[in-house]
Chain A
Amino acid sequence: MRVLVTGLNHKTAPVEVREKLAFDGPGLEEGLNSFLQLPEVKGAMILSTCNRVEIYAHVSNPERAVDSVKAFLSEFHSIDPGALENSLYFYTDRDAIRHVFRVASSLDSMVVGEPQILGQSKDAFEFALTKGATGILLNRLLKKAITVAKRVRTETRIAENAVSISYAAVELTKKIFTDLSEKRFMLLGAGEMAELAVRHLIKSGVTDVSVVNRTYERGVELAREFCGRAVRFEDFIKELVNTDIIICSTGAPSYILHKSDMQMIMKGRKNRAVFIIDISVPRNIDPDINQLDNVYLYDVDDLQGIVDSNIMGREKEAERAEGIIEEELEKFLKWQTSLDSVPTIVALRNRAEEIKQAELEKLMNRLEGVDEKQRKAIEYTVSAVVNKLIHPPTVALKEDSEDRDVQIAMIKRLYGIGENNGSQ
């Protein structure tokens, strides 16, 4: 029983290839079903996200299986096999298990530590589980992968701290204000990054949104999108007395808000704190404003600096996460070998031999005047009985049958062996 991982991800294949190989909607069930028809495959699950397509399979012979998986993929998606040659990766055994752990723990993600992949892995596993496609090995592997991912999340800071500018802006906002739902927010200008940040802010509870645009109609349009109201450009400074959070992203060639304006505004607000994010280049807000009490001004470089150091922090945490994964990998492999037939046969024999010796000793102590010949005969008979009794299970273990895992587990339980050699 061995694990084979086949797949491609954002590092090995461009989106044009990834989207062709994706198993989405009904394609997932269909793909899983036809994959299970492959002769080498005993169990499987398919993980298909926008960044990766991976098949985790339980196979009898990985070397042979690699070719049939390749053929399956090109056939199922009607792609020339040559086109896949450089994109696909294959991992077996130890490397395969490590890969599954790393993917679930978000160490293989485009943005290391991003939280979605764990949920996606869980969903993919549960789907395969309900279709009865996984076996004992994959069940164990995926359940373990999920707990490893959780351990990585709680024991390292891999998922802490924002790694995008718009998220960094929202996190900062939460360190200045407590309840965003009672804060007034203003978007000055427009732009992709700014609008993304607005969406994050709204998700974090901001409800009072006003939008200022030099073209009033554009402002009205954007305001509708954010369920806010449009404010005329000429009026925006007046409006700032009641505004707590400002994101500025206009195309103005020079400052549109000066320190003296802000001083007046702060007096009007009785010094209630203001957080200003100026992501326009060139900057639209006089940087000296940051010197005023209770005014916090961040420009795009400040935010980028935060993001950079957060990414560095995540990379450092990723190293610790790799350590956890190696540790869990060893544990998993130990469990896997414990399920192997050879050690089970050895353990079974040892157990029988132990019993035989102990009973013989007892018997010899009780009997008196037994000569060498008689003793040999007794020993011979006892051995014969024992051997005959353990012969059928030994044969069963040696056979490479479909449900050998179950048999091994069963024999171990019936004979009371192997409970102490670490089943975890």
Chain B
Amino acid sequence: MVILFELALTFYFAATIVGVVELFRGSRATTRIMLVLAAIGFILHTINIVLSLLSGHIPVTNMHEASSFFSWCIVLLFFYVEYRYKIGLLGSFIMPVVFILMLSSSILPREITPVSPMLKSYWLGIHTALAFLGDAAFALAAGIGVMYLVQEHFVKTKRLGSLFQRLPSLQILDEVSYKLITLGFPLLTLAIITGALWAESAWGSYWRWDPKEVWSLITWFIYALVLHVRLTAGWRGKKAAILSILGFSVVLFTFFGVNLLLKGVHSFVR
């Protein structure tokens, strides 16, 4: 339902504004307001997606739906991280991303092109859910990476203002970002594997070097590298944060760039 989507977008926008205000002059109250606004947006957003599923349509078949589902996954994981680690300020860094994704979703083409019968299978749901949940984990890892860089800068340059006071410790930021990547990486791996299986059953070949496949593989290698250098060379802290941000920009390119600029089996419009 269009109205639910627009309402969710509005609440995410409000949460973003409060989140940005919070960065400059926050208190416990603003954090709570931001969380409540985001939660209302999330509930409306969830109802919208569930209604679509109930009508028998998996809402990932055009850029509008895919972008919206991507934001939904990010907010879902954000609330999980908030529940687990209580990094309230994370909302200030992640809600703008959610809002921009939702805004893109609202201006991207909405007409539903019928899924070609070849692709109509339960793989569609499994493959895309895995891919987007993985991407959402990378989005949060990058958001926390930005927080790490900000806090690291404060500690290193000894400028300890009010934002420094409200940001959590470097260690927790580094650890949570790492944990999110260790969550996102297997999800991405599974998404690639299920995609290959699906391709085999639909087209008869596992891998066709479609641009989406290529860029997903690049993303996979980047995060494999993030995990590898952390364990072997001790690339933690600042370097890990920079890599997590770099990784997420590749994720964004794979999502937007490949779909909009490069043509392939994953483009919605053919």
Residue positions of A touching B, CB distance < 8 A: 160-161, 172, 174-179, 267, 269-273, 290, 293-294, 296, 298, 302, 305-306, 309
Is there contact, CB below 8 Å, between A160 and B165? yes
- Interface assignment of B263: CB less than 8 Å from any CB of chain A: no
- Minimum distance in angstroms from B71 CB to a CB of chain A: 29
Q: Which of B207-260 contact A (CB under 8 A)?
A: 233-239
CB of A279, distance to nearest CB on chain B (Å): 15
Chain B positions near chain A (C-beta within 8 angstroms): 151, 155-156, 158, 160, 164-165, 167-172, 175, 233-239
Taking CB atoms, residues of chain A closer than 8 Å to B170 are 175-177, 273
Structural contact, B156 and A271, CB atoms closer than 8 A: no
Find chain B residues with CB under 8 A from A177 CB. Answer: 169-171
The docked-state distance in angstroms from the alpha carbon of A305 to that of B168 is 21
Question: 5 shortest A-B CB distances, which residue pairs?
Answer: A270-B234, A271-B234, A178-B171, A178-B172, A294-B237
A179 and B238 alpha carbons, distance in the complex (Å)? 20
A-B contact pairs, 10 of them (CB 8 A): A172-B160, A174-B169, A175-B170, A270-B233, A272-B236, A273-B170, A294-B238, A296-B155, A296-B156, A306-B158
Contact A273 B156 (CB under 8 A): no
Query: Which residues does chain B contribute within 8 Å of A296, judged by CB atoms?
Result: 155-156
How many angstroms between the C-alpha atoms of A302 and B236 in the bound complex?
26
Cβ–Cβ contact B169 & A176, under 8 A = yes
Contact (Cβ within 8 A) B160 A178:
no
Question: Which A residues touch B160, using CB under 8 A?
Answer: 172, 306, 309
- Given known A-B contacts A273-B171, A302-B158, A175 and B164 have beta carbons under 8 A apart: yes
Complex Cα–Cα for A174 and B164 (A): 12
A161:B236 contact, CB within 8 angstroms: no
Contacting pair B158 A305 (CB below 8 A) = yes
Q: Is the CB of A178 within 8 A of B175?
A: yes
Indicate if the CB atoms of B235 and A271 lie closer than 8 Å: yes
Residue among A175, A272, A309 making CB contact with B169, cutoff 8 Å: A175
B171 touching A176, Cβ below 8 Å: yes
Most buried by B among A176, A269, A306: A176
Bound Cα distance A49, B175 (Å)? 45
Nearest-CB residue, chain B, relative to A290: B156
Chain A's nearest CB lies how many Å from the CB of B238?
6
Q: A161-B165, A176-B169 are in contact. Are A273 and B237 (CB under 8 A)?
A: yes
Residue of B155, B168, B175 with most partner-chain A CB within 10 A: B155
Chain A neighbourhood of B151, CB < 8 A: 175
Which residues from chain B contact A179 at a C-beta distance below 8 Å?
171
Contacts of B167 in A (CB 8 A): 175
> Which chain A residues border B233 with CB–CB below 8 Å?
270-271
- The verdict on A294 contacting B155 (CB below 8 Å), with A176-B171, A178-B169, A273-B170 known, is no
Given A175-B169, A306-B160; A269-B155 close (CB under 8 Å): no
Q: Which residue of A lies closest to B231 (CB)?
A: A270
B169–A271 contact, CB under 8 A? no
> Which residue of chain B is the closest to A168 with respect to CB atoms?
B160
Complex: chain B residue closest to A310, CB-CB: B160
Contact B171 A293 (CB under 8 A): no
Give Cα A176–Cα B160 distance, bound, in whole angstroms: 12
Q: Give bound CA distance, A294 to B170, whole Å.
A: 10
- Name the residue among B167, B171, B172 with the largest chain A CB count within 10 angstroms: B171
A290 to chain B, nearest CB (A): 7
Among A172, A271, A298, A305, contact of B236 (Cβ-Cβ < 8 Å) = A271
Residue of A271, A272, A306 with highest tally of chain B CB at under 10 A: A271
Task: Report the Cα distance A309→B158, complex, angstroms.
Answer: 12
What residues of A have a CB within 8 angstroms of the CB of B239 in the complex? 293
Contact between B237 and A293 (Cβ–Cβ < 8 Å)? yes
Cα of A160 to Cα of B160 in the assembled complex, Å:
13
Cα distance A331–B167 in the bound complex, in angstroms:
38
Quick one: given A175-B170, A178-B169, A271-B234, are A298 and B158 in contact (CB under 8 Å)?
A: yes
